[in-house]
Amino acid sequence: DVKVTQSSRYLVKRTGEKVFLECVQDMDHENMFWYRQDPGLGLRLIYFSYDVKMKEKGDIPEGYSVSREKKERFSLILESASTNQTSMYLCASSLPSGGNDTDTQYFGPGTRLTVL
């Protein structure tokens, strides 16, 4: 079974703090994704990465950055946290094209971040 883990289930930070959210997958997936989930807005893609050191902006990258130094790890960074970044953050991974598992995203349990 694919396992995607996230460093924290719940996190409380103060406005202006630098925040690191870590995601690790154990299935050698090339693609990794960071989403935020807010009530009524569904999942919105922040950033994704299709290879080590590669990253692409998603729909809402402002206020966020990412790092992928190793294949299994994808970090989301909030350079200066703000209250409007209070949300549920979900990490996912997938294989690239080819095979029955193509494009199937596997999710971690999520990190509920509160910025005070």
Q: Per CB under 8 A, does 98 bind other proteins?
A: no
Selection from 103, 106, 76, 108 nearest residue 90 by Cα: 108
Q: How far apart are CA 63 and CA 88, in angstroms?
A: 15
Q: Which is nearer to other proteins, 54 or 79 (CB)?
A: 54
x/- track of binding to other proteins for residues 3-32 (CB under 8 A) = -x----x---------------------x-
Look at residue 88 and give its three-state secondary structure: strand
- Please provide residue 28's backbone torsions phi and psi, each rounded to the nearest 5 degrees: 60, 30
Q: What is the DSSP letter of 41?
A: T
Specify the stretch interacting with other proteins by CB under 8 A; choose among 11-19, 62-70, 73-81, 94-102.
94-102
Q: Which residues of this chain interact with other proteins, rule CB under 8 A?
A: 4, 9, 31, 33, 40-43, 45, 48, 50, 58, 90, 92, 94, 96, 100, 102-110, 112
